[in-house]
Amino acid sequence: MLLLIPLFPLVGFVINASVGRRLTKSISGGLACAAMIASFAVSALLVSQILGHEAAPLEFTLFEWMASGTLRVPFTLRLDHLSAVMILVITGIGSLIHIYSTGYMHEESDSEYARYFSYLNLFASFMLVLVLGGNFPVMFVGWEGVGLCSYLLIGFWFRKQSAADAGKKAFVVNRIGDFGFVLGMLLIFATFGTLDFQLVAAAADSRAIEHGAIGVITAATLLLFLGATGKSAQIPLYVWLPDAMEGPTPVSALIHAATMVTAGVYMIGRNAVLFSHAPITLSIVAAIGAATALMAGTIGLVQNDIKRVLAYSTVSQLGYMFLAMGVGAYAAGIFHLYTHAFFKALLFLGSGAVIHALAGEQDLRNMGGLKKYLPVTYWTFLIGALAIAGVPLLSGFFSKDEILFKTFTSTNPYRLLLWGIGMVTSLLTATYMFRLVFLAFHGERRSAAHHDSHGHGHGHAPHEAPPSMAIPLIVLAIGSVLAGYVGVPHALGGSNRIEQFLEPSFAVTEARGRLEAGGGVQSTDAAGVVRPVAVQDSHSADAGESTHDNTSTELMLMALSSGVAIAGIGIAAFFWLRNRAAVNAMTARFRGPYTVLLHKYYVDELYDAAVVQPIKLLSTGGLWKGADAGLIDGAVNGVGQTVRSTSNVLRRVQTGSIRTYAASLFLGVVLILGWYLLKFR
């Protein structure tokens, strides 16, 4: 049963990739959607079996993948509470985005359409392997697979130079992170002798927490975190994500907002025990998360491309998730991942509907006044924006407040600074999101007429999305409102069910016996029983009797962040709805900071100067002209040259005189015979 979840999309991929060219759009698209929906149905069925707090994870071992010495890597899929949340997000939101894609990609030719859906299915399959993998190598298969699909889909319109470049950039930047991931994985194997997540957690738990010392766990988790920064677009490896917007918009929604980029967050959650034993790593994770959230938020404030604003918003929200992970609030991070998947997918799909309606226009400066043309898109987009801004009673509010509250009450020495950055980012989030809403949907239409010439030929009035696109928008909008209610905090009279639900995944399960018994070999029936001891110091401390003391703090923080969210919206309304002239005045006044933000802090230029150009220089000057042309070609040509000059000398021996040849022949025979005669006398 467990195998069916990634298998359905894989079958969809195989069919669409092999015979998709000859299928009509409705068949190839329908097939891809059916595969996702089937996968979702199986996921829902299986998740319902493990809903209870004490329920054991489901396991399925396909085959023994690697067996060498003490290394035992079975191809194990494991469904526990954490992966349950993930597979529901992937298959559920994935299905909606597949359905949306059937409308969005309809302009493509049949074969391109099939190619698109085959990639999308392949992505879903790998992503499911990533979250279901029961050990590091299986997770790594998915990890690399989604990276490949991300590359293929960013560069889907590969005839466009910028799209091909963006795909390459994503691939190369991700390699840097993957390098860290592999090293971390190897270090874990060298230290603990196993790669199974549960066994690693159990083994790590038996060690002391590495307070203030850089031990082997700290090193391993830092390497893993490097992998996470690559995949989840955190400082310093976030640069690929904004460029990834060259891909089709549903791809941005699925891969670069809802699922793949959250893989790093998931990976930390999966190894929560390990990370909890490395407080230094956790502090770094929190710091990087907060810094990324703030930095991306400020950049998002001034960008003019609708998708780029959303991309920076994604980077910023991922920063929030890492902040949560870094302060040990794993459940809060996953909770935000889950709600973010809804509203960010919604926002991307909404922006896709806008781009679709305007025949490819992405520049906010050429939009405006779309509210009356695109009512469904407008209202759903507005709900998404309200949710991400953290307006009370929508999903983003619950998850974001949970993170801010956990940060505020964490044991991190810089918790107030981190919390402050979180609050500022929250303000920025509300502001840039509503800047987007007001610029795109309100005010006067500022269309650039020449854009209507290419594209659909639907005339000048923007057209509302077709039902295949509108329905996913509506479903996601409903989700964006309601998704947060699984995690209503205690302070508001809820019970924070998602946190309780996820808790077993972040604790050590009773896997010790198996560790001693059989190394990494797993049997399907020996599922772990949850041990009630939670390991996170910060998070389990306030789950106990101190809850009541925190209620008032939490309520106060909640009121504060709601106020911040509404203030952000107010700022946006003032500048971009009421008083556009003030924007120009502000940009004129703060020309310097504005230019820096518009150029994204010149990070791309910095990387270009610090990394790309030196590598180019080294490759051109050193490796190409020095090593290849100089050393290797030199050796080959040198051999030829030597033979030639030696022959020039030796050919003088050939006089052409028959007598000389005969004499040397005779002399040779005499010498050889003479030698034999003397020797065998």
Partner 1 sequence: MVPLNYYLALSGVLFAIGTAGVFLRRNLITVLLSIEIMLNAVNLTFVAVGRYRGSVDGQIITFFVMTVAAAEAAVGLALIIALFRHRETLSPDAFTALKW
644 vs 651 by CB, closer to partner 1: 651
533 in contact with partner 1 (CB under 8 A): no
**In the window 485-524, what residues touch partner 1 (CB under 8 A)?**
none
Q: Give whichever of 620 and 664 is closer to partner 1, judged by the CB atom.
A: 664
Q: Tokens 């009630």 identify what position?
A: 532
Binding string, residues 605-644; x marks residues near partner 1 by CB under 8 A = ----------------------------------------
Binding track over 169-188 against partner 1, x by CB under 8 A: --------------------
Q: Tell me how far the alpha carbon of residue 120 is from its chain's centroid.
A: 15
What letter represents residue 633's amino acid? D
Q: Are 145 and 151 in contact (CB under 8 A)?
A: no
Tell the smallest beta-carbon distance from residue 615 to partner 1 (Å). 51
Q: How far is the CB of 632 from partner 1 (least distance, A)?
A: 32
Cβ neighbour number for residue 594 with a 10 Å cutoff:
15
Q: How far is the CB of 662 from partner 1 (least distance, A)?
A: 6
Nearer to partner 1, 635 or 658 (CB): 658
Largest CA distance in the chain: 120
Minimum CB distance to partner 1, residue 644 (Å): 13
Secondary structure of residue 523 in the 3-state scheme:
coil
357: closest CA among 466, 252, 444?
A: 466
CB nearer to partner 1: pick between 615 and 669: 669
Residue number with CB closer to partner 1 (208 or 650)? 650
User: By CB under 8 A, what part of segment 645-674 binds partner 1?
Assistant: 651-652, 654-659, 662-663, 666
Shortest distance (Å) from residue 649 CB to partner 1 = 11
Query: Rounded to an integer, what distance in angstroms lies between the CA atom of residue 506 and that of residue 330?
Result: 7
Smallest distance, Å, CB 657 to partner 1? 5
Q: Which is nearer to partner 1, 450 or 644 (CB)?
A: 644
Contacts 24+ apart (CB under 8 A), 545-549: 547/490
Q: How far is the CB of 656 from partner 1 (least distance, A)?
A: 3
Residue 280 tokens read as 């230094």
Report, in Å, the least distance between residue 660 CB and partner 1: 9
Residues between 283 and 342 that touch partner 1 (CB under 8 A) = none
Lookup: tokens for 53: 């707090």
CB-nearer residue toward partner 1: 485 or 666: 666
Contacts of 668 (CB under 8 A, 6+ apart): none
Closest CB 638 distance from partner 1, rounded Å = 23
Exposure of 589 by Cβ count < 10 A (0-12 exposed, 13-18 middle, 19+ buried)?
exposed
Alpha carbon distance 189, 12 (integer Å): 35
Return the C-alpha torsion angle 44, 49, 51, 56, nearest 10. -130
Which C-beta is closer to partner 1: that of 612 or that of 672?
672
DSSP, residue by residue, 75-142: EEEEE-HHHHHHHHHHHHHHHHHHHHHHHHTTTS-HHHHHHHHHHHHHHHHHHHHHHHBSBHHHHHHH
Mention every residue, 6+ apart, whose C-beta is less than 8 A from residue 440: 306, 354, 364, 367, 368, 370, 381
Measured in residues, the chain has a length of 681
As measured in angstroms, the least distance from the Cβ of 667 to partner 1 is: 11
Cα 144 to Cα 123, 168, 506: the distances in Å are 10, 15, 24
Q: Give the span between the Cα atoms of 108 and 22, in whole angstroms.
A: 14
Give the count of beta carbons closer than 10 Å to the beta carbon of residue 336.
Answer: 30
Pick 190 or 663: Cβ nearer partner 1? 663
Coil, helix or strand for 72? strand
Q: By C-beta, is 68 or 648 nearer to partner 1?
A: 648
Contacting residues for 512 by C-beta, under 8 A, at least 6 apart: 202
Q: Closest distance between partner 1 and the C-beta of residue 643, in Å?
A: 15
CB 666, min distance to partner 1, A: 7
Residue 398 and residue 376: Cα distance in Å, rounded? 25
Closer Cβ to partner 1, 556 or 665, answer by number: 665
Residue (644 or 659) nearer to partner 1, CB: 659
Tokens of 224: 């893993």
Q: Which is nearer to partner 1, 586 or 663 (CB)?
A: 663
**Shortest spacing between CB 637 and partner 1, in angstroms:** 23
CB 229 within 8 A of CB 239: no
159 versus 659: smaller Cβ distance to partner 1: 659
Q: Which of 469, 515, 501 is nearest to 330 (CA)?
A: 501
Size, binding site for partner 1 by CB under 8 A: 11
413 or 656: CB nearest partner 1? 656
- How far apart are CB 664 and partner 1 at their closest, in Å? 11
Nearest to 235 by CA among 173, 186, 181, 182: 173
Number of other CB atoms surrounding residue 283 within 10 Å: 16
Q: How far is the CB of 670 from partner 1 (least distance, A)?
A: 10
- Give residues in contact with partner 1 (CB under 8 A): 651-652, 654-659, 662-663, 666
